[in-house]
């Protein structure tokens, strides 16, 4: 059995066969996750505000018994921030990722920075209230102290939970940063530890610390709420995508029904003109391929058909049209427009060459190696490839400093089909354009 570079593609395709590179990964990520979480965060504003007001009123009432203006004054930042953030809720519209940083950064960046600073001050101010409730109330009866500490712990728990459930902070669109994810997962225990560290060293009677420890477990509620949000949000996002799928599918059906025969004919009509006008033929191939690639948009996770992975649609439709099977492995993230056009042309010509020769199974690979873009196309051989498309392709490649060579296979034209079939193939390479990588 002849070994062939495409065997490598076959092996690697088992693990990295075409999967549309998702703009979204994980249940917490993506535009829809942002929108869904924003709606929830908006709905929680009123209950959170009420809880905070209750907490602040309780703490201030206890502190006022002390006749210590310093303690009351130290609570004022918490009161101010509580009022400042009373109506602060994310707008349930995901940030526009299509705008460049230059376009969106100044205003949005400033707003976000301001919001984050206020949020951290908010958390800090609640911890100050927790500290005050524990340390300045030493002369008061135990029940008043418990009330103050409990209310302060609740303030902190509410502030931390609102932060953890707010998508403006952990930014699920496009995906949350690792630090945010970790902080979010640990927010409950961290809150408890911080509160315990601030409160337990204060002067308490024997036995009172147990009660206080119980009180300070309140921030753990955060864990249950964030876990619930993750679990439910994942299902919501999945369901919305499934339910909305028919919109994309309907327009794709219309589009392909209207254009597929038209562009196929266009490519056929341009074929005889290839020698006189190579550009015309290239455009016709590009149009037909582009239409095929738009089929990838049926995947609701994809927001653009102009991704390297969507080239797989070209391979699939070309091979399926003759009852063969094909697979494309892509080992790069971006393709410049010029390279993309050439990859389409190369795939189109080489696949047609192999399929016309009777190949039943075709493997193609597109990869970047040392600044050179390489396309390998190989198929099992049941006959000699029909190579009339190769001279014009060689010419086109030569114009960009590229090469085309055979690989694998042999000149034996009587090969057995199936596993023992030999492979015919071609390797094409040319210097990659800037933007490909």
Partner 1 sequence: MSGIILAQPQELRRDRLASLVLLRRLATYTIRIGVEKLAMVAVAVAVTLASDQRLLGWLALLPALIGTALNLLALVATQGTPRGRLLRRYETHLNSIEGRPQLNLPAFVECLGAVGMIVAGAWAVTDLPDVWRLVYVAAGTAYACLVSCSIFDDNAWYNPKVRSPTWQEVDRVLCGVQVCVLVLGVSWWAPWQPGERIGLVVVAAIGFTVPLRAGATQLLVADLEPLVEAERQRGTRLVIEETSRELLPILTELRQLAAELGPDAAAVQRLADSALSGIADIPNQVAHSATQGDGQPLQVVAERLSSLARAAGRDLTVTLPPNLSLVDDDRRLASQAMRDLAGNSISASATRIYVELRQIGPRLVVIVADDGHPIPDGVWKSPGSSSAALEAKLAARGGSLSVENSTLNKLVMATWVSAG
Site for partner 1 in 299-328 (CB under 8 A): 300, 303-306, 316, 320-323
Note the Cα 63 to chain centre separation in Å. Answer: 48
**Cβ-based nearer residue to partner 1, 270 or 393:** 270
Instruction: List the one residue from 160, 236, 342, 359 that touches partner 1 (CB under 8 A).
Output: 236
Residues forming beta bridges with residue 373, ordered by sequence position? 368, 430
**Cβ-based nearer residue to partner 1, 253 or 412:** 253
Q: Which residues of 230-257 are buried (b: 16+ CB within 10 A; e: fewer)?
A: beebbebbeeebeeeeeeeeeeeeeeee
Whole-number Å distance between alpha carbons of 426 and 404: 7
Residues 378-417 that bind partner 1 (CB under 8 A): none
Instruction: List the one residue from 138, 186, 231, 398 that touches partner 1 (CB under 8 A).
Output: 231
**Piece of 14-22, 265-273, 408-416, 421-429 that binds partner 1 (CB under 8 A):** 265-273
Residues 190-209 that bind partner 1 (CB under 8 A): 207-208
Structure tokens at 139: 């002369």
Instruction: List the one residue from 30, 55, 90, 150 that touches partner 1 (CB under 8 A).
Output: 150
Whole-number Cα distances in Å, 49 to 150, 234, 434: 17, 27, 53
> Of 277, 264, 262, 140, nearest to 208 (Cα)?
140
Q: Under the criterion CB under 8 A, does residue 437 sit at the interface with partner 1?
A: no
Instruction: List the one residue from 17, 265, 400, 413 that touches partner 1 (CB under 8 A).
Output: 265
- Which phi and psi (to 5°) does residue 27 adopt? -75, -15
Structure tokens at 361: 């199974």
**Cβ-based nearer residue to partner 1, 27 or 331:** 27
Whole-number Cα distances in Å, 382 to 210, 327, 412, 413, 419: 81, 18, 10, 7, 12
**Piece of 112-120, 169-177, 271-279, 424-432 that binds partner 1 (CB under 8 A):** 271-279
> From the CB of 356, what's the least distance to partner 1, in Å?
12
Instruction: List the one residue from 56, 132, 148, 165 that touches partner 1 (CB under 8 A).
Output: 165
**Piece of 127-135, 227-235, 396-404, 420-428 that binds partner 1 (CB under 8 A):** 227-235
Q: Under the criterion CB under 8 A, does residue 343 sit at the interface with partner 1?
A: no
Do residues 169 and 28 lie in contact, with contact meaning Cβ atoms separated by under 8 Å? no
Q: Give ∠ CA 334-351-394 in degrees, rounded to 5.
A: 80
**Cβ-based nearer residue to partner 1, 116 or 320:** 320
HSE, CB side, 13 Å, CA atoms: give it for residue 349: 29
Instruction: List the one residue from 276, 370, 411, 414 that touches partner 1 (CB under 8 A).
Output: 276
Q: Under the criterion CB under 8 A, does residue 356 sit at the interface with partner 1?
A: no
Structure tokens at 430: 């040319």
Q: Is the dihedral of CA 348, 354, 357, 362 positive or negative?
A: negative
- DSSP three-state, residue 414: coil
Q: How far apart are the first and last CA of the chain?
A: 34
**Cβ-based nearer residue to partner 1, 245 or 369:** 245
Instruction: List the one residue from 73, 76, 250, 398 that touches partner 1 (CB under 8 A).
Output: 250
Residues 37-96 that bind partner 1 (CB under 8 A): 37, 39-40, 43-44, 46-48, 50-51
Q: Under the criterion CB under 8 A, does residue 143 sit at the interface with partner 1?
A: yes
Q: Under the criterion CB under 8 A, does residue 17 sit at the interface with partner 1?
A: no
Q: Count residues near partner 1 (CB under 8 A).
A: 90
Instruction: List the one residue from 96, 243, 333, 412 that touches partner 1 (CB under 8 A).
Output: 243
Q: Under the criterion CB under 8 A, does residue 22 sit at the interface with partner 1?
A: no
């Amino acid at each position: 059995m002849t070994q062939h570079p495409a065997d490598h593609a076959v092996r690697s395709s088992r693990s990295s066969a075409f999967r549309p590179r998702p703009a979204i990964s994980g249940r917490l990520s993506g535009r829809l996750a942002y929108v869904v979480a924003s709606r929830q965060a908006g709905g929680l504003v009123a209950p959170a505000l009420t809880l905070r007001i209750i907490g602040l009123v309780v703490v201030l009432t206890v502190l006022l018994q002390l006749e210590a203006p310093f303690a009351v004054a130290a609570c004022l930042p918490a009161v101010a921030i509580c009022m400042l953030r009373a109506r602060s809720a994310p707008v349930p519209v995901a940030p526009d990722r299509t705008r460049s940083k230059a376009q969106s950064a100044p205003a949005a960046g400033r707003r976000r920075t301001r919001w984050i600073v206020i949020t951290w001050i908010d958390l800090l101010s609640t911890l100050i209230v927790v500290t005050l409730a524990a340390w300045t109330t030493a002369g008061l009866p135990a029940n008043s102290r418990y009330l103050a500490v409990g209310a302060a712990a609740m303030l902190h728990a509410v502030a931390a939970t609102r932060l953890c459930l707010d998508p403006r902070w952990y930014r699920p669109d496009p995906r949350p940063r690792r630090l945010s994810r970790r902080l979010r997962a640990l927010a409950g225990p961290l809150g408890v530890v911080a509160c315990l560290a601030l409160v337990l060293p204060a002067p308490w009677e024997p036995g009172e610390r147990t009660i206080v420890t119980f009180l300070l477990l309140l921030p753990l509620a955060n864990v249950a709420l964030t876990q619930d949000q993750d679990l439910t949000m994942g299902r919501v996002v999945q369901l919305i995508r499934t339910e909305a799928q028919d919109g994309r599918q309907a327009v794709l059906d219309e589009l392909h029904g209207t254009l597929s025969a038209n562009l196929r004919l266009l490519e056929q009509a341009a074929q005889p003109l290839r020698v006189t006008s190579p550009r015309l033929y290239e455009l016709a191939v590009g149009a037909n391929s582009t239409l095929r690639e738009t089929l990838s948009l049926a995947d609701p996770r994809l927001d653009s058909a102009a991704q390297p992975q969507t080239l797989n649609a070209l391979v699939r439709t070309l091979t399926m049209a003759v009852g063969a099977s094909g697979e494309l492995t892509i080992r790069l993230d971006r393709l410049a427009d010029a390279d993309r056009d050439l990859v389409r042309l190369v795939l189109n010509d080489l696949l047609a060459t192999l399929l016309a020769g009777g190949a039943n199974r075709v493997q193609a690979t597109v990869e970047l190696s040392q600044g050179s873009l390489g396309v390998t196309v190989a198929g099992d051989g049941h006959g000699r490839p029909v190579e009339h498309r190769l001279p014009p392709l060689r010419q086109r490649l030569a114009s960009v400093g590229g090469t085309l060579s055979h690989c694998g296979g042999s000149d034996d034209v009587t090969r057995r089909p199936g596993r023992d079939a030999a492979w015919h193939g071609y390797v094409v390479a040319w210097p990659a354009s800037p933007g490909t990588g």
